[in-house]
Amino acid sequence: MEEISWQDFEKVEIRVGTIVEVNDFPKARRPAYQLVIDFGETIGRKKSSAQITKRYTKEELLDRQVVAVVNFPKKQIANFMSECLVVGAVGEEGDVVLLAPDFKVENGQRIA
């Protein structure tokens, strides 16, 4: 495993946001949802494609807080522009378990 410096880590903007919209993503190569996540007034809303259909229904995701990297460059996925990366632990079968705060916090809070 390659070590990084504290300065490297400080460059990564990991924030808490609330999922406000969830849609199917039929054009994705692997099953995925299109998410709209609210990161508060300063950052605003960002879109993300997430391969989390094995563990989560659309109803379970709506209004759920998640952790995401918000300062990656935008990435085109099929006909969708992903603007952030939702963070999760990946199981042996590729199923993702989302990382989230234990208690509700203000959208946009930085993970340190």
Q: How confident is the model at residue 94, as a pLDDT? A: 81
User: Does residue 60 lie within any of the structural domains?
Assistant: yes
User: Does residue 22 lie within any of the structural domains?
Assistant: yes
User: Does residue 108 lie within any of the structural domains?
Assistant: no
Percent of the chain with pLDDT over 90: 95
User: Does residue 21 lie within any of the structural domains?
Assistant: yes
- Listed in sequence order, the residues at least 6 apart from 25 whose beta carbon sits closer than 8 Å to its beta carbon are 31, 32, 33, 34, 49, 78, 80
For the segment 3-32, what is each residue's pLDDT rounded down to a tens digit? 999 999 999 999 999 999 999 999 999 999
Q: Which residues, in sequence order, are bridge partners of residue 21?
A: 36
- H/E stretch holding 61 reads helix 58-61
User: Does residue 39 lie within any of the structural domains?
Assistant: yes
Q: Which domain holds residue 36?
A: 6-98
Q: Hunting for tokens 């709209």 — which residue is that?
A: 36
Phi and psi at residue 52, in whole multiples of 5°?
Answer: -125, 25
For the segment 64-111, what is each residue's pLDDT rounded down to a tens digit? 999 999 999 999 999 999 999 999 999 888 889 999 999 999 999 999
Mean pLDDT of the region 57-61: 98
Rounded to the nearest integer, the mean pLDDT of the chain is 96
Percent of the chain with pLDDT over 70: 100
Phi and psi at residue 94, in whole multiples of 5°?
Answer: 80, 5
Read off the amino acid at residue 82.
S
User: Does residue 24 lie within any of the structural domains?
Assistant: yes
What is d(CA 62, CA 24) in angstroms, rounded to the nearest whole number? 13
Q: Cα–Cα–Cα angle for 28, 29, 32, nearest 5°?
A: 50
**How many structural domains does the chain have?**
1
Q: Which residues, in sequence order, are bridge partners of residue 86?
A: 68
User: Does residue 43 lie within any of the structural domains?
Assistant: yes
CATH number of the domain to which 30 belongs: 2.40.50.140
Q: How confident is the model at residue 3, as a pLDDT? A: 95
